[in-house]
Amino acid sequence: MTNAAERLAGIRARIEQARARFGPPPGRVELVAVSKTFDADTVRPYLQAGQRIFAENRVQEARQKWPALRAEYPDLSLHLIGPLQTNKARDAVALFDVIESVDRDRLAGVLAAEMQRAGKSLPVFVQVNIGGEAQKAGIAPAEAVAFVGRCRTAHGLDVVGLMCIPPEGEPAGPYFAHLAALGREAGVAFLSMGMSADFETAIAMGATHVRVGSALFGARP
């Protein structure tokens, strides 16, 4: 518990230092604790220490881990940050509070239908393949603004932000700046960008949500 609390406090302090250093925007930066591959016993101390926003990248893992934790901590918020197959959309709508990985029209339509069926309206982020990498999910940057518009008007989704993962091994700043420019053009309030190694750079470029895993939980199993 002490170790979890210390790690959490350290990351939060770095977030606030970066936010204060680089100034507005944003006025607030949310820490999203990426708990993928870590079991409930590893996650629980962070809940006990006050962290309430977590992220998983697989629906099946979330279904095994989070219902029991949510029963203990009903005020937590769970984000889906991994690629979502349309046949898992119903489970995703049931399990998650925010979906950060909307990246194609078919998925947008299926999610909208599942939300309507469930009587929910979950906020979503559009994932942008900011580096144009063939192996990564996400809408192409040139198509992102129009896609946000379609998600809102054609599908009725509540698109609140954009999300990206920059190319590994390259300076992240220009990619984060590009996403911020797309976010302004699309008229979204939030930018989910930055992970353990680069979240301070992301904050400098306007991140409102940073997704931190290994700096909190340690090396993945």
Contact, 37 vs 215, CB < 8 A?
Answer: no
pLDDT digit string (tens) for the chain, length 221 residues? 569 999 999 999 999 999 988 876 677 899 999 999 999 999 999 999 999 999 999 999 999 999 999 999 999 999 999 999 999 999 999 999 999 999 999 999 999 999 999 999 999 999 999 999 999 999 999 999 999 999 999 999 999 999 999 999 999 999 999 999 999 999 999 999 999 999 999 999 999 999 999 999 998 87
* Strand partners of residue 79: 55, 98
pLDDT value, residue 25: 66
How many whole angstroms separate alpha carbon 71 and alpha carbon 2? 23
Task: Give the CATH number for residue 149.
Answer: 3.20.20.10
How many domains, the chain? 1
Domain that holds residue 70: 2-217
